[in-house]
Amino acid sequence: MEDQYEKLGRLGGGSFGVVFKARDTETNEIFAVKTFYKKKVYKGCLTTAIREATLLKLVKHENVVRIRDVVFEEEELYIILEYLNSNLKKYMKSCPNFSKNLPLIKMILYQILCGIACCHSHRVIHRDLKPANLLIDLRNNLVKIADFGLARKVHYTIRPLSKDVRTLSYMAPEILLGSRLYYAPADVWSIGCIFAEMVNGKPLFKGKSEIDQLFCIYEIMGTPEEDTWPGVTSYTRFDSNVPRCPRKDLASVVPNLDEYGLDLLSKLLYMDPCKRITAKDALEHEYFKDIGFVPT
């Protein structure tokens, strides 16, 4: 492994191991190498890594990071991935006027939806969409969805999923309310949160705990009721005693969007997941009528 790839620096890390930038010594190409800690390879990480690699090989799209290879040697596991020089989180921080560049935001949102629509067409849900997991090639503002470590292929059968899977600010209300039967709409909610964050320059819902996150959502989107979200009172964490909050006008919460942008945002953030717009349908929304970027 080290004979073929020269480490050029650390890109990040987590409980699984470390991601580093590397150069292929034979071709001089640059890659991101996700390496798993030796002691954890046999404690669940091996299954997670193989699942991630399998899903990336399944979902091939311009807006999804490409996988080159999987290497397993000397009890260590490596996933060789396409390298991009930034991510959306860093990009937003480095550009003082990013939130005012609405055409750029529209182009980025369109690409995110394209990539996730492809994932959903293969019945793959990402479950951890957030700005840090959206890579960007700064040369052409090409966006690619990355970090499929928590992604799953679902068959829409009665099979519960873990709820502790994503960053709080982008977690869908059905998960926060205790559902373990959630699918593609949960990703769509995350995209709505990312959309609002790009325009506002800060997270739309910023709770300190799961309960607080729900209250933050209720304060803007309104406290759900049976007539607006059939079945919501049956969720294990639904509390009928919480204060009833009316839905706010999104124009006052995300004031820089035009009427089409606000309409799309409201559909991405529809509380009832059954009525939430799909990624595929979102691409056909009037908001994108003047989109000048169409990835292959």
At residue 204, the 3 state secondary structure works out as coil
What are the CA-CA distances from residue 24 to residues 5, 30, 32, 75, 144 (Å)? 5, 6, 10, 21, 21
What is the maximal distance between C-alpha atoms in the chain?
64
Determine whether domain 86-288 maps to CATH 1.10.10.10. Answer: no
At residue 138, the 3 state secondary structure works out as coil
- Where are the chain's structural domains? 5-82, 86-288
CB 12 within 8 A of CB 32: no
Q: What is the pLDDT, as a whole number, of residue 119?
A: 97
Q: What is the pLDDT, as a whole number, of residue 213?
A: 95
Residue in the block written with tokens 């873990």: 162
Q: pLDDT by residue (tens digit) across 176-210?
A: 999 877 889 999 999 999 999 999 999 999 999 99
Determine whether domain 5-82 maps to CATH 3.50.50.60. Answer: no
**Catalytic residue IDs:** 128
Question: Would you give the DSSP letter of residue 35?
Answer: E
Q: From CA 134, how far away is CA 212, in angstroms rounded?
A: 26
What are the CA-CA distances from residue 208 to residues 176, 205, 211 (Å)? 13, 10, 8
Q: pLDDT by residue (tens digit) across 127-140?
A: 999 999 999 999 89
List, for the chain, all residue ranges whose pLDDT scores fall below the cut of 50. Answer: 41, 158, 163-164, 295-296
Which amino acid is residue 248, in one-letter code?
A: K
Q: From CA 237, how far away is CA 235, in angstroms rounded?
A: 6
Asked whether this chain's domains 5-82 and 86-288 adopt the same fold, the reply is no
Q: From CA 104, how far away is CA 97, in angstroms rounded?
A: 11
